[in-house]
């Protein structure tokens, strides 16, 4: 963990939420608000906290971010420890320069070391990045273990992506049943 230089004026750091100062969290929130054009609410921000964050700074300014948090997913009779990728964003004036791929590479390292599987919910605009990195849209049903029991989430089907870490991840089987995620407030996925 810590910080590394990856080019002139560029620093990439990997840190837990607990290691981020209040000012840094404010910068992350500002980046996310701008990158998602105001469509990133308080619950969305809450979902991105409590795990590992990749922060990319160029000349001291935060230009890209992503985090991975632990979730539980029931599949085929097993509760899988899942690295759920959240809040991947690149500042608008720095897009199409490989920063999203840089963030994802670091997040995938975390998933590979700590989780059985990776998952995320992709926007149409972001799906190409994930597919290019080997993530695949889950072809089966998606659900949640809600307060009133299991619920199907058909609106999440087709936009939920999964990734099996090479050499140790769990390969998911759509014929073994749905992916049922743990409950959380706001958007479940």
Range of the domain at 61: 2-182
Q: How far apart are CA 51 and CA 67, in angstroms?
A: 7
Residue 105 is encoded by which pair of tokens? 């590479």
Domain at 99, CATH number: 3.40.630.30
pLDDT of residue 64: 98
pLDDT of residue 6: 67
98-101 contact pairs (CB < 8 A, 24+): 99/56, 99/63, 99/64, 100/64, 100/126, 100/129, 101/129, 101/132, 101/133
Q: Does residue 27 fall inside a structural domain? A: yes
Q: Does residue 188 fall inside a structural domain? A: no
Gyration radius (Cα) of the chain, Å: 16
Q: What are phi and psi of 155, to 5 degrees?
A: -70, -15
Q: What DSSP state is assigned to residue 140?
A: S
Q: Does residue 187 fall inside a structural domain? A: no
pLDDT of residue 167: 82
Q: Assign 3-state DSSP to the chain and report helix, strand, coil percentages, each to 5.
A: 30, 40, 35
pLDDT of residue 38: 82
Does this model's pTM top 0.85?
yes
Q: How far apart are CA 3 and CA 11, in angstroms?
A: 6
pLDDT of residue 170: 84
Q: Does residue 170 fall inside a structural domain? A: yes
pLDDT of residue 156: 95
Question: What's the total number of domains in the chain?
Answer: 1
pLDDT of residue 46: 96
Other Cβ atoms closer than 10 A to 161:
21
Residues of the chain with pLDDT under 70: 1-3, 5-7
pLDDT of residue 154: 96
Q: Does residue 189 fall inside a structural domain? A: no
Q: Does residue 133 fall inside a structural domain? A: yes
pLDDT of residue 85: 98
């Amino acid at each position: 963990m810590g910080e590394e230089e990856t080019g002139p004026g560029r620093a990439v750091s990997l840190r837990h939420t607990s290691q981020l100062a209040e000012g840094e969290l404010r910068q992350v929130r500002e980046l996310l608000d701008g990158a998602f054009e105001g469509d990133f609410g308080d619950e969305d921000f809450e979902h991105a906290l409590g795990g590992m964050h990749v922060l990319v700074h160029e000349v001291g300014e935060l230009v890209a971010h992503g985090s991975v948090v632990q979730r539980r997913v029931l599949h085929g009779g097993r509760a899988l420890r899942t690295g759920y990728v959240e809040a991947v964003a690149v500042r608008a004036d720095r897009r199409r320069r490989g920063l999203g791929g840089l963030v994802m590479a670091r997040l995938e390292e975390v998933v590979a070391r700590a989780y059985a599987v990776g998952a995320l919910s992709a926007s149409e605009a972001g799906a190409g990045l994930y597919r290019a990195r080997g993530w695949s849209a889950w072809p089966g049903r998606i659900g949640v273990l809600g307060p009133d029991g299991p619920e199907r989430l058909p609106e999440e089907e087709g936009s939920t992506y999964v990734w099996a870490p090479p050499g140790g991840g769990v390969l998911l089987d759509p014929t073994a049943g749905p992916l049922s995620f743990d409950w959380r407030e706001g958007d479940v996925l």
